[in-house]
Amino acid sequence: MKKAYVVGTCDTKLEELVYVRDLIAARGIGTVLVDVGPRSDERGVDVRAEEVAAFHPQGVAAVRDVDDRGRAIAAMIDAFVRFVRSRDDVGGILGLGGSGGTALVTPGMRELPVGTPKLMVSTLASGDVAPYVGASDVTMMYSVTDVAGLNRISRRVLANAAHALAGMVAGGAAEPVDERPAIALTMFGVTTPCVERVTAELDADYDCLVFHATGTGGRSMEKLVDSGLVVGVIDVTTTEVCDHLFGGVLSAGEDRLGAFARKGVPYVGSCGALDMVNFGAVDSVPERHRGRNLYVHNPQVTLMRTTAAENREIGRWIARKLNRAVGPVRFLVPEGGVSAIDAPGKPFHDPVADAALFDALEAELAAGPSRQLIRSPKHINDPEFADQLVASFRELAPSPG
């Protein structure tokens, strides 16, 4: 049976960890208390820190025989991630910690599939939690007081966390509302008409999961691919690549498009919003870019038009990534424009820059029966272009029946 894993540094948080462990157990849920303290030697736990450390590629010594605390924590993070991967009975994880404990536990949580309960009680949960949550469904709960002993506040907060995790583990997944296979799509405001038409055409056969291409959105979409939760992808909006290559604020990182090399799901992609790099408010744009073609999308978002040279680099980067995909690929090029503001009379209309992107994609993509680039004279938001995306997807995807 699946169990609730309670995780933290037992040399400093044992009292609190035992408290929540016992509350979960009282609800009839099996528990596993795991110690991830790099220097901890507690013995009254289910999995000792030394056992976790042994999962490090260089063994226990990589964690224990290190003088620097930061290096020891980094090594234990690696070990804990590998430990989590080795377990097949994790029904959920509850972690407790300050800055060190949060950094230790959440990477292991992120290894679990989307939907497996993950609850982190942390002193950092009222701030920027993006580094800890990442693209996963980690729930962060602010501890209010420090996780440093039991008191009238911490008992209530920790009890709420224990009962919450017990309920999630006991409740299991909700019954599916339909039997349609799920597919993933990526969208930005400037590609919305295209994605809305695609989803409308496929909705009868597929559960269409749309992700906002904000960096986290792309990572979340690919995590679902890695988790085997979608049967195909229509990656209309690959704009996060621009931010990754040229310092924008919405990068999905170097691994964008990596899931398709690993999993082989049918992939249909396009050039959505490859005409822009995203920054915050206009005064946050780096000084070196102040003379560029900038467009204030709203008071918090400023867009920078990509140049022909940048577009060539983007095209090569995407093509090289797609060349590694083990599944079928169709990449559609909208020669009429790649976003709502890349059209005649619009602020980012630049046919020369677009042509550099399209030509680089075509030159670099290793075309063949399973990997094709398809040029279209249409704009990305033209209904006919959406129809081409749908037709390409239906050609590659398994029949929903």
Q: Which tens digits make up the pLDDT trace of 234-247?
A: 999 999 999 999 99
Question: Residue 181 is encoded by which pair of tokens?
Answer: 């296979």
For residue range 141-151, what is the model confidence (pLDDT) as tens digits?
999 988 888 88
Question: Residue 236 is encoded by which pair of tokens?
Answer: 């209309």
Instruction: Please compute Rg for the chain using Cα positions.
Output: 24
CA–CA dist 166, 185 (Å, integer): 33
The two beta strands, 90-97 and 3-8, are parallel
pLDDT at 202 over 70: yes
CA–CA dist 233, 367 (Å, integer): 19
Query: Cα–Cα–Cα angle for 255, 197, 181, nearest 5°?
Result: 60
**DSSP, res 47:** B
For residue range 62-116, what is the model confidence (pLDDT) as tens digits?
999 888 888 999 999 999 999 999 999 999 999 999 988 999 999 999 999 888 9
pLDDT of residue 119: 97
Q: Which residue in this structure is represented by tokens 């580094």?
A: 131
pLDDT of residue 134: 87
| Percentage above 90 pLDDT, the chain | 84
Q: Which residue in this structure is represented by tokens 């749309």?
A: 210
Q: How many residues does the chain have?
A: 401
Residue 187's DSSP bridge partners are 212
Q: At 120, is the secondary structure helix, strand, or coil?
A: strand
> What spatial distance separates the first Cα and last Cα of the chain, rounded to whole Å?
33
Q: Which residue in this structure is represented by tokens 């396009």?
A: 270
Tell me the pLDDT band of 350, cut-offs 50, 70 and 90.
very high
- Domains with residue ranges and CATH for the chain: 3-171 (3.40.50.12020), 182-396 (3.40.50.12030)
For residue range 293-344, what is the model confidence (pLDDT) as tens digits?
999 988 889 999 999 999 999 999 999 999 999 999 999 999 999 999 999 9
> Is the Cβ–Cβ distance between 194 and 272 less than 8 Å?
yes
Q: Which residue in this structure is represented by tokens 């009839």?
A: 28
pLDDT of residue 381: 97
Residue 233's DSSP bridge partners are 184, 267
CA–CA dist 348, 276 (Å, integer): 8
Q: Structure pTM?
A: 0.77
What is the arithmetic mean of pLDDT over 121-145? 92
For 290, counting Cβ atoms within 10 Å of its Cβ (0-12 exposed, 13-18 middle, 19+ buried), the class is exposed
The b-or-e profile of 306-324 (16+ CB within 10 A means b, else e) is: bbeebbbbbbbbbbebbee
Q: Please report the sign of the dihedral spanned by the C-alpha atoms of residue 397, residue 398, residue 400, residue 401.
A: positive
